[in-house]
Structure 1
Amino acid sequence: MAVSDPTLDVEHELLGAYPSLASGAGCVIGCDEVGRGALAGPVAVGLCAIDVNVTAMPAGLRDSKMLSEPRREALAPLAEAWATHSAVGLATAQEVDELGIIACLGLAGKRALLKLHDSGVDLRASVVLLDGSDDWLTRALGTPLRVVTRIKADRDCGSVAAASVIAKVHRDRMMIAYDSLTPGYGWSGNKGYGSAAHMSAIAELGPSELHRRSWLKTPA
C-alpha cells in the first residue's frame, strides 16, 4: 500500500479557523516526540511553528520513522529553514526515572515551547498540532494553550513531520556524541534503543548514567 506524503491541509484549516492565526499574530505549531521507547538517553519533543506566510514544504519531507538516517540529516536543516521557528526540548534519563515517561514528555514539551516563546512566537495566539490521541502536553502546562490532537499527524501533516525530523536528528546527534564519552554500548548504532547488542552490553558493563534504570531488568 502506497504511503502518501504529508500535506499542509490541516495546518491551513487551523490557520483559517482562529482569528489570531488568520491575522498572522500566531502560528500552527507541529509537535512530535522522539525517544519515548528508548532504554537510554533523553526523550525529545520537537516543535515546528508555521504562520500564514508558509511556503511549500521541503521536497521529500516525511515522518522521521519513514526516512533513512542520511535523508533525515539532509532534510533537518531544510525543515528548520522552512519553519517560521523550530525548537527541541529534552528530558533526561534521570528525569524519566524520577517522574515517568508521560510527565517527561510534558516537561520536554514545555522546555521546547519556552524556546519558541523566547524566539518571538506568541504562544497564546497559536495552536499546537500534536501527534497522537493523548494530550500529554496540556496536562503538563501551567497555563492554557490551544492543543489539537490528531492520530498519524506525523504522517499526514507537514509541520508535525518537520518537527519529528528536527527532533530525531537532534537526539540522534546527541547519542552519537555520547558514544565517545560512554563507549561500549553502541550508541551510534542503536541510539539508546534495546537492540540485542545493546542488551548484551548492559549485561556485561552494567547500566550507564544515560540509562533509564527504572526500565531495566538488570540490577543498577
Structure 2
Amino acid sequence: MRPASDPRDPAKDPTLDLERACFEAGAVAVIGVDEVGRGAIAGAVAVGAHAVLAGVEAFPRGLRDSKLLSERRREALAPEVAGWGPGEVGYASPAEIDEHGISWALGHAGRRALLALRTRGVPVQRAVVLLDGRHDWLTPALHGPLDVRTRVGADRSCASVAAASVRAKVERDALMREADEVHPGYAWASNKGYGSRAHYEGIAALGLAPLHRRSFIHGAHGMGSRAGAET
C-alpha cells in the first residue's frame, strides 16, 4: 500500500481526494465504476465496480488506470486490488450488445456488478457511485435511484475508479484468452477481441464466431475500420 498523499507522478497517479470529499459530505462508501471492451468486435463488455469505505487512507502502490499499465503489471496488481476492498465485474454478452446496443449493455453490466456488491454487504444504496466519463449510461439501467456522478478522467484521478478499471480489464482479458482456446484463429489471446489485423484476417478465413458482435462488424470497410479504441 502507498499513502494516498504520496504523489509519485501527479499527472498519472490517482488519489483518494474525491473519495474523501464524498465521505466528508456524508457518504458511507464510494464505488468506482469503469468499463472495458466497449470498442471490441468480439467478447462481452465488462464493467468493474470497486468499493472504498470511509476511513480508508491508502491504496495499492502503483495503482493506475488499466490502460496506463502493462498487461504484466496489471496481472501482478490485481491480487492487491482484490485485497484492498470489495469489488465485482459485471458483463453483457455479445448477443445483448447486438440486440440492445452498447449503451444498454454497459448499463446492465454495471447494474449486475452493483447487485453483486450489494449481495456482499456493500451499502450500495447509501454510496456515491463514481462513473468514468461524461455520459451516465448506468442510471437508465437501474431499478432504483442511486447517487451516480460522472467525472471525465476519473479512471486516472480517482483510486476507486482506477481499481475498477484494473478489475474489469484483468477479468475480461482472462475470458478472451480462454475464448481463444475454444475458437482459435482470431488471435484473441493477444488482441482481446479488438479489431486487429490478425483478428480481421481470422474473420476473412473462418467467418464469424459466436462471440462476435455482428452489429459492430456489419458494413465494415477494410481491415480494422471498426476496431475501436481499446478501453
SS at match of 1:136: coil
* Alpha-carbon shift at residue 218 of structure 1 (Å): 6.6
Partner of 1:208: 209
Query: Residues 75-94 of structure 1: CA distance to partner in whole angstroms, max 9, x if unpaired?
Result: 111011112x1000000001
Query: Who is 2:18 aligned against?
Result: 10
Paired residues of 1:49 and 1:159 also in contact (CA < 8 A): yes
Q: Distance in 2 between matches of 1:174 and 1:54?
A: 31
Give the C-alpha shift of residue 179 in structure 1: 1.0
- Structural mapping, 1:17-166, within 5 Å: 17-18=25-26, 21=27, 26-83=28-85, 85-166=86-167
Alignment of 1:166-205 (within 5 A): 166-205=167-206
Deviations 1:123-173 (A, max 9, x none): 111110110010111111110000111000001110000000010000000
Q: Distance in 1 between matches of 2:128 and 2:21?
A: 12
Q: Which letter maps to 2:201? A: S
CA-to-aligned-CA distance 1:40-75 (integer Å, 9 cap, x gap): 000000000011131311111000000000000011
Larger relative helix fraction = 1
Equivalent pairs: percent with the same residue?
56
* Residue-by-residue CA offset, 1:99-123 (whole Å, 9 max, x unaligned): 1000000010111011001000121
TM-score normalised according to structure 2 size: 0.89
2:202 and 2:99 map into 1 onto residues whose CA distance is 24
Match of 2:224 in 1: none
Question: Residues of 1 paired with 2:100 and 2:218: CA distance?
Answer: 18
Cα distance in 2 between the residues matched to 1:31 and 1:103: 16
Contiguous gaps of at least 5 residues in structure 1:
none
For residue 2 of structure 1, report the CA deviation from its aligned partner: 7.8
Aligned partner of residue 80 in structure 2, secondary structure = helix
> Which amino acid is 2:13 matched to?
D
Q: Which amino acid aligns with 1:34?
A: V
1:53 maps to a residue whose letter is: G
In 2, are the aligned partners of 1:202 and 1:218 still within 8 Å (CA)?
Answer: no
